[in-house]
Amino acid sequence: MTLAPTPPHPFGVTLGFFRHLIDLCGGRTKLQGRTTAQVCFDYIVPLTASTQLSLVDHIAADPATTHFVQPANWYISHAWSYLFLETVDSLEVFFAQQQLSDEAVVWFCVFNNNQHRAATYPFEYWSSTFKSQLSAIGNVVMVMHPWNDPVVLRRSWCVFEVYVAVTTGARFEMAMAPDQLELLLNDMKKTNVFNAILSTIKSEQSSTTVPSDRDGIFALIEAETSFTAVDRLVFSTISDWMKRALTTHAVSLASPEEQEPAWRSLHDLYGATDKWVDAERCAEQVVACCESIHGVGNATTLFANTLVLTSRAKANQPLEVWEQPFETLIEQLESVLGRAHPDVIEARVRFASELVSRGLKNERAIELLFVNSECLGSMQPDDHATLRTALPLGQAHCNLNHFDDAEHWFGIALASARRVHPPEHPFIVSAEAGLGDLYHLVGRLDEALAIFEIHAELHLRRYGIDDYKTVAAFGVMGTTLHRMGKLVRARSHFTDLLNALAKRPPRQVVNTIISQEGLALVHWALDDKAAAVALLLQCIKQFLAHDRLFRALRSTERLYRLLIEASVDGADDAWVPVHDHFVAPVTPPESWTSEYCAGCHQDIVGTLTCCNMCPRGTYFYCRLCSTLGRILCAHDTSAFLAFKPPHRHLLEEKLASFNGPLDAFDEALAHYTSYCRDHSVPEDEQMPRVVFGYEVDSRPWHPML
């Protein structure tokens, strides 16, 4: 068998050749303001006219210039509309930062392709050439100008090169000219600039000069990978470059006055990419600078401390680390600046948002945010503070099952965001997500799913599968499919998600555990109760390990309802966490952990009911609503399942299996009776003594009678 010959390694030119070419063309002044396309047609084509070769082949044939040609180790992706000198400067800066100036040999399409024959080549030639050369070289640097809206990403051939980098696993970097750092520093002074940039990058909207080339490129991308993967690589590369550039800039500055805005920008960037430990470190630098400039008690310094506390909260540090310090800080800011100052309003938003995101102290969050509402007066619809206040107000009301109020505030937030921000801006996405959660809770499932499907793909494209926002979006999408009765699709959805996360574990695992719980409920709905029990036991253990007690309690309640409903192998062991959590009464007694009635939208206290015909684990009702028929489905409520709160059930089980002296039984029964009386358990739900089967001595008191 004869093996096909290995194709030769691509050649390129050293960085020194760029300087040689500039001199050959008459120097930098001569090329000032000229695009790469103009340099190609005005200089390179005439220069190679005698040989009709590519520039690389042309100079390789000349003994005076052959030393510039060597095996290429970097592939350059760029736009022909860029200024040629700006591209050269970007490459020189990049390779100097990488300490590769002497080793870099670049494959540059203007130099490597034969420009005399370029117009005659079909799409297949260009696609195979670019792919084979890039694959063989293995390193790509993309020249991106301007940094906040790169032209290169609007060109499909450049998107094609990113696609090749994705499918071949090539190293992918980006290069920018020195003036782009100054532009970055100026832009980072604006609010949410990084997130705004994310909303402008979408490789699927790129174009080509020849329309059929775009069709061919898109077909290749869709066959082997996805635009999501392409955009994800671009996003991560831009993010990494920004962090490197800002860090280098910050540590190079001498005075705290110069350092403070640099560290603040770096904090904002780490926050935008959910690296909150790093964000906290940068926030502490901001505070140190402010203390040096203004003093400890100055309003600017006090407000800077909100960055530190917010970072700690978002890094999932315990409540006691940041709650009371935040309360104290807001009091200090109010005393210095007054309750209506913009910094005080923003401090309340930051604190309230962290409480709300954990489902904690929603009433306190609403109290803080209503102070903002009063300070803002009529709440101007396009004011940034209006948006920042309305969004957590909607979330807090949603947490409390005040769904009409939640929809009102989410509507204000979304309308405000859409007036001042482009589509897919994070503020718009957050407001839409709030409405999606609301629709999901009240049974408007088609509307909820439409939002979640878009958001899941959006977060995947921006942040990757291992980001907590992506996991949350895919998780709630699976839960919505479950509630819609699309059980097979929901099972596949959760399984695919968890398999992907197993290969690339996320930094924050709580949403992964929530998705495991979602899969458990789908297994229950599909009558695979053993699988459901096994997963719920895992979830309880993992929630406890990550200090998520209320989620562990909720999972244990779900396990309890499953065990009550069905006989499962190994059920004795499965009852252990139920006994551990509920042998003592929860607070408040007879309550359920974060379960609300889909009929009256109140927290369920006492007996919880659910439809026996709908998928398990979807909507629940209080006893009154199921009795009155205030339900979301059309099924007969007489067939509804009813579950007593776990603690009451365990009290009754203890009495039913009692095997001790009569006076001890009477004491236990008295405790049960007292519990039912104290917590208003309906009489028809209280178990009479005779039901427990314990022998009762009915004789009169005299032993001889």
pLDDT in tens, 546-599: 878 888 999 999 999 999 987 666 677 889 999 888 887 777 788 998 888 999
Q: Are 249 and 183 in contact (CB under 8 A)?
A: no
Confidence (pLDDT) at 190: 66
pLDDT in tens, 231-269: 877 778 778 878 888 888 888 888 999 999 989 989 988
Question: What's the domain count of the chain?
Answer: 3
- CATH number, residue 517: 1.25.40.10
Confidence (pLDDT) at 3: 41
Task: Tell me how far apart the alpha carbons of residues 301 and 297 are, in angstroms, rounded to a whole number.
Answer: 7
179 and 50 within one domain: yes
Confidence (pLDDT) at 198: 66
Confidence (pLDDT) at 381: 54
175 and 28 within one domain: yes
Confidence (pLDDT) at 290: 96
> Does residue 378 form part of some domain?
no
Task: Tell me how far apart the alpha carbons of residues 694 and 320 are, in angstroms, rounded to a whole number.
Answer: 48
Q: Is 430 exposed, middle or buried (0-12, 13-18, 19+ CB in 10 A)?
A: buried
Domain boundary pick from 223, 250, 277? 250
Domain boundary pick from 537, 562, 584? 584
223 and 94 within one domain: yes
174 and 75 within one domain: yes
> Does residue 170 form part of some domain?
yes
Task: Note the helical H segments in 443-509.
Answer: 445-463, 468-483, 487-503
Task: Determine the structural domain holding residue 665 and report its residue range.
Answer: 649-685
> Does residue 391 form part of some domain?
no
653 and 547 within one domain: no
> Does residue 152 form part of some domain?
yes
Domain boundary pick from 230, 250, 270? 250
226 and 115 within one domain: yes
215 and 116 within one domain: yes
Low-confidence ranges of the chain (pLDDT < 50): 1-6, 698-705
Q: Is 180 exposed, middle or buried (0-12, 13-18, 19+ CB in 10 A)?
A: buried
45 and 118 within one domain: yes
661 and 525 within one domain: no
Confidence (pLDDT) at 349: 95
225 and 105 within one domain: yes
> Does residue 314 form part of some domain?
no
Q: Which two tokens stand for residue 281?
A: 């470190």
> Does residue 534 form part of some domain?
yes
> Does residue 285 form part of some domain?
no
425, 395, 399, 397 alpha-carbon torsion, rounded to 10° = -150
Task: Tell me how far apart the alpha carbons of residues 397 and 611 are, in angstroms, rounded to a whole number.
Answer: 26
Q: What angle do CA 269, 273, 278 make, to 5 degrees?
A: 65
> Does residue 274 form part of some domain?
no
CA distances (Å), origin 38, targets 83, 102, 413:
9, 28, 48
Sheet holding 621-622, edge to edge: 621-622, 608-610, 641-643
241 and 139 within one domain: yes
671 and 575 within one domain: no
